[in-house]
Structure 1
Amino acid sequence: MSEVGNAADTEEEDSYHFLENSMSARGAKSKSFPPESDSAQSGAGFSRARLTDKDVERKLVRKIDIHVLPWLFLMYLCAFVDRVNIGNAKLEGLEDDLDMTGNDYNVALVVFFIPYILCEFPSNIIMRKVTPSTWLSIIVFFWGCVTIGIGFCKTYAQLIGCRFVLGILEAGLLPARSLQGSIYVISTYYKRYELQTRITIFFCASVIAGAFGGLLAYALSKMAGLGNQAGWRWIFIMEGIVTAIIGAVSKFMVPDFPETAKFLTHEESAWIQYRTNEDENSAQYRMDHLDKHSVRIILRDPKTVFGTLLFFGTVCTGYSGSFFLPSIIQQMGYTSAGAQVRTIPVFAVAAVLTVTFSIISDKTNNRWAISLVGVVIALIGYAILVAEYNFAIGVRYFACFLVVTGGYIAQPVSVAWMANNVSGHYKRSFSSAIQIGLGNASGIVASLIFENKTAPRYIPGFSVAMALMGMVGVVTILFALYLHHENKKRDRGDYNCRLQLPQEQVDNMGDYHPGFRFVL
């Protein structure tokens, strides 16, 4: 018993040393840790609580949830509304007013994704020099201004130019996960099995944007004629104004990293760093500098390929729904206003079920099964839509629920699953940049597969999106089997030979270290 007690005391003492060092690195005033007395600033006995106190930990996690998620969620909501409102504007006369013909609409969608993908890395470089709150507030404000500008476009060429600039600006919000983007900021606050739910809540902004965008489009289109402007113009103008205002305020609302976040006390900041490091064993599985050995590890890791394929396949369904769902529903025989309104419950149901399954995923410590659930639901929906004329309109409309819900259940799983299985700063940076950057190229596919000439059935579009979701199902199974096999080999000690490498390489392996275990 004494040995057990001594071990526990030693573990607690080590934890306090970590916290004390973290506080010092953060610039805290010299003081003993834990403090001799509790203070209001330390938060209801936080600093004196044992690190294993689950009640104190739950209170801290709730505090993080309140301060970190809401504003980032709001910013991503604005991003997605401004990105996909062109689908709603299409129903309100955008194509006619700008003399768009043939595949002009599809080109206007594609032109957004080219700079969106290419500008990810330059955006990361810029953000190394500034804080997330500064950079994200700047780009949100200016893309709000660009959205307003779309409302005043007189020609198709002007629309293309605005969409291109919008892609440049929005490249800094989500893809920059690898360094200082929204998802990376979120991932620095939570343990691995807390992350799925939070990432899903963040991604749900894109789902809610579909419902919220449809509702706004329906309401704003009623402003047609006001100021001699068409209804579709007011969609861009009003939504752009709201985004610009949010961007201006974001500088004071967006959280930075735990070590510098103003809403945390020194003790809370240190504990957050300790609990995330302990959860991932980050102190042991680091990759803090680049050399030839670490670059080889990054480039040869099949997990990056699996994660990118998963994200690529699910993103196609996500963007297809956002860009074309109003048109798909309209082709079922509804008016433009009726189609706008009927998109709202589709995305609302998807949001609720996506969060529900993400909570189940975190509670059960499982990723692959939840991904497969999403895939199966989406495939059933696609199968109905491909054979739509064999079904009643109500059944076809229900299929839209299945497709959107299934796609959004699987999409955040691909991001969280990847984040759970890579360790070390540079390993995460490069792996996530590849996953998000290449995966978003699926937005180009989604923009091109639903052509006007294939209306009203859109068989090519549904078939391609269905095939990609089928690919996600196959890759999910292969990824889970690969991770299970790797864990077994590590349990047997098959990779212990890696520990014989020079110590500087052992200390810079990340998840390549034989002690790291993967999340299924």
Structure 2
Amino acid sequence: MSFQELGSGKTSGESSQVNFLSEKKAIATVLSADSVESGPTFDARRTGQLLRKMDWNIVPFLSLLYLLSFLDRTNIGNARLDTLENDLGMQGLDYNVALAVFFPWYVAAEIPSNIMMKRTSPSLWLAIIMFGWGLCMTLMGLVKNYTGLLIARMALGLCEGGLFPGVTWYITLWYRRHECGLRMAIFFSAATLAGAFGGLLARGITEMRGLGGLRGWAWIFILEGILTIFVAGIAKWVIHDSPETATFLTEEERTEVKSRLKQDRTSLADEYASQYLWDALKDWKIYVHMLITIGIYTPLYSISLFLPTIVKAMGYTNEKSQLMSVPPYVAGCIATIAGGWAADRAKQRGLFMIGFCFTAIIGFVMLISTDLPGVQYVGTFLTVCGIYPNVPMGVAWNGNNIGGSTKRAVGIAMHVGFGNLGGVIAGFAYRSAEGPRYFAGHGLLIATTTMSMFLSLFMHLYLRKENERRDAIWREQNLTIDSYTEDMKTAEREKGDNASFFRYTL
């Protein structure tokens, strides 16, 4: 027995057992590293099972979070059809201002929130901001004047700002680039469900008017806020931070997920460094996507905030308007998921975005060109089915084409943040004085959607040309993706999407 064994109080047998276990652990670590290095090992059947397992453990709860988020920010549209404006002494553009003040604070929170989420953990940070906006929503039901409503809306924007860019980045931690679109589409489809459920819930909740001395609109805010707080209470234990710590995955599955991501991300840097933040701020392509996004988010928020008002202007009652706003959102939900699935299958984004923009433009033209309620109502279906699918598709397209985890997190936050400034514009798109035809509002949305359509076409053509240029350089050097070694990739790991082996998603 050695002095070390005596000092540790271990027998020779115990020491041998410890050494054996240590060696076994070391061998497992090496094998795991080798597996990651050698690439994915699952066949198509097992890969499908793995993806479904991740989907069921990740996507539904994230979708619930966004459903509550979108419900809480847009339920003011349904509250307006109750007695909100009269009770708070609102007149003129007061309602439009109440809508608009939400968005600057929402945008201001997005980049800092994504950085905090990366520096802490997704489960903790998402639970914190969710509790915050649930509390703001609940307190909004207790406001007694217009000033209180404005303060509550600003606080709500500050708390909600981190959810969408945070979850968008979070999804990229689990899925390959051409698998993200469908998951983001399912996640964002919750916004369409929020529009559908919002109308149904509002119709029922407003019947509580007078209970506890509160108006119907107050109960809309309070009950939906309490529901959000409840879900926030369990979020920390339901959200899995990363594949490395996911308890629902086996060790073999964790290794496979890491291998798939490593192969897809082509060895680009994943660590945090300020250099990658500046890389995002200097990338002109992200700014083009920001313009595309504001052109889509402006009609997105215009529809979500004013659809009950638009339907009411067709000649329907308040109650019927709330119910008639449901079917377009159901159609939009189907279009969003179907579009995400098709884009992932085709490994294309730009062409789909162009097509959806064109669909929305037709819908807005139907709204602006006639006063026939039937034609206008069909137009609402086309606008929802054209605009909503482009939100997750746009952020997936931009995220697919940003190399490196930190740059991607910042780039997505820039993308979503600037796009959400469209909410400020949307707040003034439909003014009461311009009803019931709302020529200026519909015309504005035709213009912004057309801008997004042509910029999407430009990006599609540019990225295709850039891929062809990089392919041509490789051909001159007799290189292929298979002959490009891991050492060669590592040498370019800090270049992000400017690395010679990176190819853009079209």
Q: What interval of TM-score do these two structures reach, taking the shorter chain for normalisation?
A: 0.7 to 0.9
Residue 419 of structure 1 aligns to which amino acid in structure 2?
G
Does the 8 Å CA contact 2:280/2:408 hold for their aligned counterparts? no
Which residue is 1:286 aligned to?
Answer: 269
Which residue is 2:494 aligned to?
Answer: 508
In 2: Cα distance, 1:126 partner to 1:380 partner: 41
Which residue is 2:19 aligned to?
Answer: none
Of the candidates 167, 170, 192, which is equivalent to residue 157 of structure 2? 167
CA offset digits 1:325-362 (Å, max 9, x no partner): 00010111111100000011110011011111211111
Does the 8 Å CA contact 2:295/2:451 hold for their aligned counterparts? yes
Q: TM-score, normalised by structure 2?
A: 0.87
In 2: Cα distance, 1:262 partner to 1:124 partner: 24
Residues 105 and 495 from structure 1, CA distance in 2 versus in 1: closer, same or farther, beyond 3 angstroms? farther
2:221 pairs with 1:231: no
Does the 8 Å CA contact 2:82/2:216 hold for their aligned counterparts? yes
Residues 298 and 114 from structure 1, CA distance in 2 versus in 1: closer, same or farther, beyond 3 angstroms? closer
In 2: Cα distance, 1:507 partner to 1:125 partner: 21
Which residue is 1:79 aligned to?
Answer: 69
Does the 8 Å CA contact 1:289/1:508 hold for their aligned counterparts? no
Of the candidates 285, 291, 310, which is equivalent to residue 303 of structure 1? 285
Task: Trace 1:38-437 onto structure 2 (pairs within 5 A).
Answer: 51-175=41-165, 181-281=166-266, 283=267, 285-286=268-269, 288=271, 290=273, 297-389=279-371, 392-437=372-417
Which residue is 1:6 aligned to?
Answer: none
- More displaced, 364-373 or 259-268? 259-268
CA deviation after TM superposition for structure 1 residue 300, in Å: 4.2
CA offset digits 1:280-320 (Å, max 9, x no partner): 31x1x43646577x677544433212221221111111111
Does the 8 Å CA contact 1:82/1:239 hold for their aligned counterparts? yes
Residue 516 of structure 1 aligns to which amino acid in structure 2?
F
CA deviation after TM superposition for structure 1 residue 161, in Å: 0.9
Q: RMSD of aligned C-alpha atoms?
A: 2.5
Residues 355 and 507 from structure 1, CA distance in 2 versus in 1: closer, same or farther, beyond 3 angstroms? closer
Which residue is 2:453 aligned to?
Answer: 473
Does the 8 Å CA contact 1:370/1:409 hold for their aligned counterparts? no
Which residue is 1:24 aligned to?
Answer: none
Residue 307 of structure 1 aligns to which amino acid in structure 2?
H
Residues 122 and 514 from structure 1, CA distance in 2 versus in 1: closer, same or farther, beyond 3 angstroms? closer
In 2: Cα distance, 1:468 partner to 1:237 partner: 35
Partner SS for 2:77: helix
Give the number of equivalent residue pairs: 468
Task: Trace 1:9-20 onto structure 2 (pairs within 5 A).
Answer: none
Q: TM-score, normalised by structure 1?
A: 0.85
Residues 295 and 353 from structure 1, CA distance in 2 versus in 1: closer, same or farther, beyond 3 angstroms? closer
In 1: Cα distance, 2:214 partner to 2:393 partner: 42
Residues 51 and 495 from structure 1, CA distance in 2 versus in 1: closer, same or farther, beyond 3 angstroms? closer
Residue 439 of structure 2 aligns to which amino acid in structure 1?
I
Does the 8 Å CA contact 1:421/1:511 hold for their aligned counterparts? yes
CA deviation after TM superposition for structure 1 residue 127, in Å: 2.9
Does the 8 Å CA contact 1:132/1:254 hold for their aligned counterparts? yes
Which residue is 2:481 aligned to?
Answer: none
Q: Which has the larger radius of gyration?
A: 2
CA deviation after TM superposition for structure 1 residue 64, in Å: 0.3
Residues 451 and 54 from structure 1, CA distance in 2 versus in 1: closer, same or farther, beyond 3 angstroms? same
CA offset digits 1:28-57 (Å, max 9, x no partner): 95454799xxxxxxxxxxxxx981411111
| Stretches of structure 1 lacking an aligned partner (at least 5 in a row) | 1-27, 36-48, 176-180
Partner SS for 1:149: helix
Does the 8 Å CA contact 2:115/2:409 hold for their aligned counterparts? no
CA deviation after TM superposition for structure 1 residue 129, in Å: 4.4
CA deviation after TM superposition for structure 1 residue 201, in Å: 0.6
CA deviation after TM superposition for structure 1 residue 429, in Å: 2.5
Partner SS for 2:41: coil
Residues 425 and 110 from structure 1, CA distance in 2 versus in 1: closer, same or farther, beyond 3 angstroms? same
Which residue is 1:13 aligned to?
Answer: none
In 2: Cα distance, 1:308 partner to 1:74 partner: 26
Residues 55 and 456 from structure 1, CA distance in 2 versus in 1: closer, same or farther, beyond 3 angstroms? same
In 1: Cα distance, 2:411 partner to 2:157 partner: 22
In 1: Cα distance, 2:52 partner to 2:141 partner: 40
Residue 492 of structure 2 aligns to which amino acid in structure 1?
V
| Stretches of structure 2 lacking an aligned partner (at least 5 in a row) | 1-23, 32-38, 478-483
CA offset digits 1:422-453 (Å, max 9, x no partner): 11123213322211111111111111221111
Residues 125 and 432 from structure 1, CA distance in 2 versus in 1: closer, same or farther, beyond 3 angstroms? closer
In 1: Cα distance, 2:88 partner to 2:301 partner: 23
In 2: Cα distance, 1:159 partner to 1:495 partner: 62
Which residue is 2:465 aligned to?
Answer: 485
Of the candidates 446, 463, 484, which is equivalent to residue 426 of structure 2? 446
In 2: Cα distance, 1:291 partner to 1:274 partner: 26
Partner SS for 1:195: helix
Which residue is 1:178 aligned to?
Answer: none
CA deviation after TM superposition for structure 1 residue 211, in Å: 0.3
In 2: Cα distance, 1:221 partner to 1:297 partner: 50
In 1: Cα distance, 2:403 partner to 2:333 partner: 30
Residue 171 of structure 2 aligns to which amino acid in structure 1?
I
CA deviation after TM superposition for structure 1 residue 227, in Å: 2.2
Residue 445 of structure 2 aligns to which amino acid in structure 1?
A
Residues 52 and 103 from structure 1, CA distance in 2 versus in 1: closer, same or farther, beyond 3 angstroms? same
CA deviation after TM superposition for structure 1 residue 226, in Å: 2.0
Does the 8 Å CA contact 2:136/2:155 hold for their aligned counterparts? yes
CA deviation after TM superposition for structure 1 residue 173, in Å: 1.1
In 1: Cα distance, 2:159 partner to 2:294 partner: 21
